[in-house]
Structure formats: C-alpha cells, structure tokens
Amino acid sequence: MTETREDAAPTGKGTILFGGSGFLGPYILENYPDVISVGRTPPSTANRHIQVDNLANLDALRDVAFDKVIFIIGNTDHYNLEKEHVPAGEPTAFDYHVTPLIQTLEHSFPRRSIAQYL
C-alpha cells in the first residue's frame, strides 16, 4: 500500500535542533531521524550533527537547507538557578535560557526564511 501524505510518518526533514545532547534532545532526535542536531556536544543518537561552538557564529549552517528550528538550549540545574540571590558574575536562569535564544534570533537568522521556530 502506498502511503499518502497524511499517512506518512514525519521524519523531521528540514529541521535543525539546538540542544540535542541535553535533557529532551535525544528523545526528539531518536524519533525524527532527519532532524539535524546543532551545537557544541554531539547527541547520543545517529542523527547528523553540525558542530557550532558559539551561537554568535552560525556559519556552519550556511549551506544547510532548513526552515524549521527547535531551540531547547538551557540548564536543568534548577536548584541553583532558583536561588534568591545569585552571586555577582554567576550566570542566572535568564543567562542560560533567554540570552542564547535572543542571540540566535537577532544575529543568526535575520536573512533566513524560517517557517517554524519552537
């Protein structure tokens, strides 16, 4: 039987994922084999991985075809992130979760046509 578009299982083609080695990343990647992992640490899955050491420079993605982005970079050490007083110089929850997102949106994708950003 031929699969119709509605019956075909999605593979994640055209999607990149930041944070593939973290808490949720491997679960997404193992279920969507065409999703490309992007970041500093390769995931534990067989998905293609593109090494990016700094979000301010995403030149490694220049020739990669994608129009969907999954962004799950963060920090799961919530005990320390929820401290009422964070010592000067230590990263805050904002630094771990929001700053990379803003940096990527403002500096890395302004000339790309992105259909979905999650």
Domain assignments of the chain as residue spans, ordered by start? 15-117
Which amino acid, residue 45?
T
The structure's pTM equals: 0.78
Of 62, 56, 52, 63, nearest to 17 (Cα)? 52
Both tokens of residue 105?
Answer: 């949106």
> Mean pLDDT of successive 10-residue segments in the chain (118 residues)?
54 92 92 95 96 88 92 72 73 75 73 81
d(C-alpha 118, C-alpha 111), whole Å? 18
CATH 1.10.1740.10 applies to domain 15-117: no
